[in-house]
Chain A
């Protein structure tokens, strides 16, 4: 609309840049073009970005279900076996007098992954439809998703640390349970999904094509 609309973009000028050696080549509109200098594949946008991001996002979402349903950690203290799922752990923290910790864990383990699903979904849908709504904010949202991605590994770290540290036989023991694997997978796949998403697609509004 504004200045941005008038300024030329690389695609408009028939140019394509190599992501690896930064060589600018002529866009030959070929699907499988490669950089003549370093040999890495050339593409205007990340190839099949929508499809891959969708696929990964869906996969992450599927894994997110067992991650929450299955227990992630077993604590054995004085013979008292206690299996915790993410949510039951948070509730226990809250009930047993650590609401601050409960909030942190809730944020890292529930809010952040959910936020990533929602944010990525929103970005994907809006970009696929070529919406020109809130372009800058959507770009910020994408950067936020990339940034907070690894923070949701908090639960995995906690379980890994406790498992390593708390091994006192009968008195106290912590074991990881399958849930944490699925939770880790969810986090990793959402991170990959956010990486496969090409933020330039946000700006590839329909208006620019015409």
Chain B
């Protein structure tokens, strides 16, 4: 059939050429496609890092498939799903990390949502206003793998590996400090508060601060930290002084630190060293407190004006404060003594304490404080409630040596240590005044007054007499005396005739004496002259010069 249909005319014959490439090579196309697809899968598989889940309080700003995880602004992963936790208390975001970010799935990595934040310390994360929130990451040093994280609600203030040091500060309370509060050194910000937590026993707060390098070298083992928040106003002799750190500190709080003045240990503090956070600079710069000790005092007097936190001073050095004031009842004496509890810091006494401790050790006293105190009490150490301010009547406790204090028994083993007390100055004064008043009352002021009155009347009479008769006579007598004195004055004046006459008389007398001597000398030499009279050749009496004083007596002694 088919042959019939074939047209066998002069149709051209096709040329037969050598075979072309096998058509089955077309299978290379799907093979290549498969290879490409496979490579994609392998690439995706190899590039896929670990998947971690991070729980947050809220999913605000978290967008599955869009929100990225960034470390140093480099994308290291992406949120794949966000779901509510089973107990509905938080949200869990699944994050697919990139393979290069495998190290972020380790135990001490931290994650937080970066949202725009405006605080007193400044504005942060402002770029997220437009781009939406992202998850910030911070990697730690740990190698331990972990894939379940709890996201931080606030960004950490310190990233791992930031140069600097972390220190612990112990404080009674947090004050106005917060995470991120600045740390100042000489009013330059050198760090910030990185975290804080209540102490286990609830009796304080521990703050962790971070000081950036290179300023961390200024923290020494003897550095003092104090709360720099607030305004310190003081009125002194030189007027009103207002002392603050920066304005931001006043508003938001801050911590300042400095080394104490004077010689101190200047070795650099080690990482995680603990310090005490003082309330103000004054307390911070005071000698170190050392270990606090609790003492008790029993006062048999009213302590009106003594308040908790009143200072306790030892010889004028503040070294503690009152922590409790309680009334007690003494059945024997039916009185109400006041029990005052105080915390004292013996270290504040500085050198004195050191020496006392050394002495106590040398003596072999094991209970250093109590035995030492015992000796001091023997020497008259007593606690007194003294008036610190006469205007407000506030009291403070003073520990002083009262040598005249009556002896008391001292139990060095009692806990807490009970310091014997003495009545305070004010009490003493009161007592003395009362004594004086009592004595004064006994004085017979009435009779004394009457007698005095009589005496005064007599005196009055006498004085009248004196005025009437005695005084005029006295006057005339005085006038006479004045005259006499005037005469005497005239007589004895240097230019008075009496004076001149006297001078002349004396000269004459001198002359006469000399003549007499010449005469006697002459008669000594010439005794015959008495008989014969004076010879002519003899020199006149006045002619010979006065002989030398030695000759005269020798000549005179010859006869």
Contacts and interface: CB of A to CB of B under 8 A. Distances in A.
Nearest to B132: A80
B17 interface: yes
Contacts of B20: 32, 41
A59 interface: yes
A164 interface: no
Interface in A24-40: 24-26, 28, 30-37, 39
Interface string B1-28: 0100111100111111111100110110
A185 B36 CA distance: 12
A79 interface: yes
A79 B130 contact: yes
Contacts of B24: 48, 51
A33 B16 contact: yes
A106 to B, nearest CB: 20
A32 B23 CA distance: 12
A159 to B, nearest CB: 19
Interface string A104-139: 000000000000000000000000000000000000
Contacts of B16: 28, 30, 32-34
A26 B7 CA distance: 8
Interface in B443-472: none
A26 B29 contact: no
A37 B12 contact: yes
B29 A189 contact: yes
A20 interface: no
Contacts of A13: 5-7
B26 A51 contact: yes
Contacts, number: 109
A51 B13 CA distance: 28
A24 B11 contact: yes
A65 interface: yes
Contacts of B353: none
A26 B11 contact: yes
B131 A81 contact: yes
Contacts of A60: 33
B40 interface: yes
Contacts of A15: 7, 11
A65 B24 CA distance: 24
Given A47-B23, A78-B130, A80-B132, A33 B30 contact: no
A52 B12 contact: no
A14 B14 contact: no
A63 interface: yes
B34 interface: yes
A207 interface: no
A130 to B, nearest CB: 18
Contact of A55 (B8, B18, B29): B29
A5 B26 CA distance: 34
Q: What 5 A-B pairs come out closest when comparing CB atoms?
A: A79-B131, A33-B14, A48-B23, A59-B33, A59-B30
Interface of B: 2, 5-8, 11-20, 23-24, 26-27, 29-30, 32-34, 36-37, 40, 65-66, 68, 127, 130-132
Interface of A: 8, 12-16, 23-26, 28, 30-37, 39, 41-42, 47-48, 51-52, 55-56, 58-60, 62-63, 65-66, 70, 78-83, 88, 185, 189
26 contacts: A13-B6, A13-B7, A14-B8, A16-B14, A23-B12, A25-B13, A26-B7, A28-B14, A31-B19, A32-B19, A33-B16, A34-B15, A37-B12, A48-B23, A48-B26, A51-B24, A55-B26, A56-B29, A58-B30, A62-B30, A78-B130, A78-B131, A79-B127, A79-B131, A81-B68, A82-B66
